[in-house]
Structure 1
């Protein structure tokens, strides 16, 4: 559902709106930037909050002796001169080239039956950015929730980690304390199970190279190893090329265990083999008396 809406260009007399990029340069029509306001009615800062004042109230880059206020809203100009609103800058993050609205993922998680609360955060592990989704709700399996999210969101918005919690940590103000959320990798326990056939050996080699991990076993989970949409695309592409199959990214997301993917590949190869294709045709044409 598109929740974006437009704001009028001149909401208050004697005030000006500017949409600027990270270098405080004006952006063209249709390009997303941060909305700044200046003019009559703009304060000079927050009382007794010097750091916040420096962040939100800046010197006007185009007018001397004037203050400009950073609204924190992500917007773009329309051809008509109105402003399209995309969300709060502190609720959006950019991962692997995609600008992601965290609240949209939260809404998708909450739409799954049984999920009571949810919060999504961006995090960095081993130099890479990831999404981690936390939720409360009894009996909600992360695998089922992930399948649901695939029906609601594009692959690049699916959190790498989905963590079930009994309750969320709260701040003194009663808000979710994101800093106190557990590290999603802290409690992961990997039990190494070696590959047993040629297909599993080949998949292990692909996963280890793409995920930059060692001693990956057939019981390992793509997401628990730090997998995300970009790495998933690389793995699926390698599998399809090396095995001559047509595996889709969604299949990896739904069945992220290496052993399960190996089984899928073997089944597809078996079905494609000339001998089995001929046997299937004969079976279909056989008349049972």
Structure 2
């Protein structure tokens, strides 16, 4: 049996946040078409968190970003903790969000920052005066540190095998 929550947690340790699946659906087998390829149309729709779990924006910047997201994603409602990629976003739509933030709010945000901060709350924080390049780079530094530690563990394990 696969625990989807545990799998998602393990993936979040190894992958950047925007690459961790928002929803994991466990299947006994993938549906195949007559050619033996995955029949994408026969895959079940994943269940996503409903509007009841959404947190409404409270600050003007959050309301503005939510409005941009709803327009770009074609949704009726967006919460401040919704992950852009979990609710239908992808890299091309994120470029549209970047453009709208610049034209509507006057902020020029690097695309990499939008990938690093895939929620409205995180993007609003990114646009606040307290946000600095130092805080922006911390997730990348943490990821690099984890990679170095994993590499050292593998190296020590390999050295132990050769003795």
Q: Where does residue 145 of structure 2 map in the other structure?
A: none
1:140 alignment counterpart: 10
User: How far did 1:163 drift?
Assistant: 4.5
User: 2: CA distance between counterparts of 1:216 and 1:138?
Assistant: 22
Q: Tell me how far apart the structure 1 counterparts of residues 66 and 8 of structure 2 sit (CA, whole Å).
A: 34
Aligned length: 121
Partner of 1:239: 101
Q: Which runs of 5+ in 2 are unaligned?
A: 1-5, 133-163
Report if the CA contact (8 A) 1:239-1:245 is conserved: yes
**1:223/1:139 CA distance change after superposition, 3 Å:** closer
- The answer to whether the 8 Å contact 1:204/1:216 transfers is yes
SS state of the match for residue 231, structure 1? helix
Alignment partners' CA distance in 1, 2:81 and 2:54: 7
Other-structure match for 1:208: 70
Aligned to 1:103: none
Matched residue, 2:48: 188
CA-CA distance at 1:246 after TM superposition:
2.7
Alpha-carbon distance in structure 1 between the residues aligned to 2:47 and 2:110: 30
1:221-236 aligned at under 5 Å gives the runs: 221-236=83-98
Offset of residue 244 of structure 1: 3.1
Deviation at 1:252, TM superposition (A): 1.9
Relative to total residues, which structure has the larger helix share, 1 or 2?
Answer: 2
In 2, are the aligned partners of 1:169 and 1:181 still within 8 Å (CA)? no
CA contact (8 A) 1:142 1:164 kept: no
Q: Output the CA distance in 2 between the equivalents of 1:192 and 1:213.
A: 13
Question: Is the Cα–Cα contact under 8 Å of residues 170 and 176 in structure 1 kept in the other structure?
Answer: no
Pair member with larger Rg: 1
How far, CA to CA, are the matches of 1:147 and 1:192 in structure 2?
Answer: 19
Residue 154 of structure 2: aligned partner:
none
Task: Return the TM-score normalized by structure 2.
Answer: 0.57
Q: Distance in 1 between matches of 2:81 and 2:95?
A: 20
Tell me how large the CA RMSD over aligned residues is: 3.6
Cα distance between partner residues in 1 of 2:124 and 2:22: 24
Any idea what SS the aligned residue of 2:72 has?
Answer: helix
Q: 2:18, 2:118 within 8 Å by CA — same for their partners in 1?
A: no
1:230 CA drift (Å): 1.6
User: How many Å separate the matches in 2 of 1:146 and 1:222?
Assistant: 14
Give distance in 2, aligned partners of 1:218 and 1:148.
Answer: 16
| Offset, 1:224 | 2.1
Q: Which has the higher strand share?
A: 1
Structure number with higher relative contact order (C-alpha < 8 Å, ≥ 6 residues apart): 2
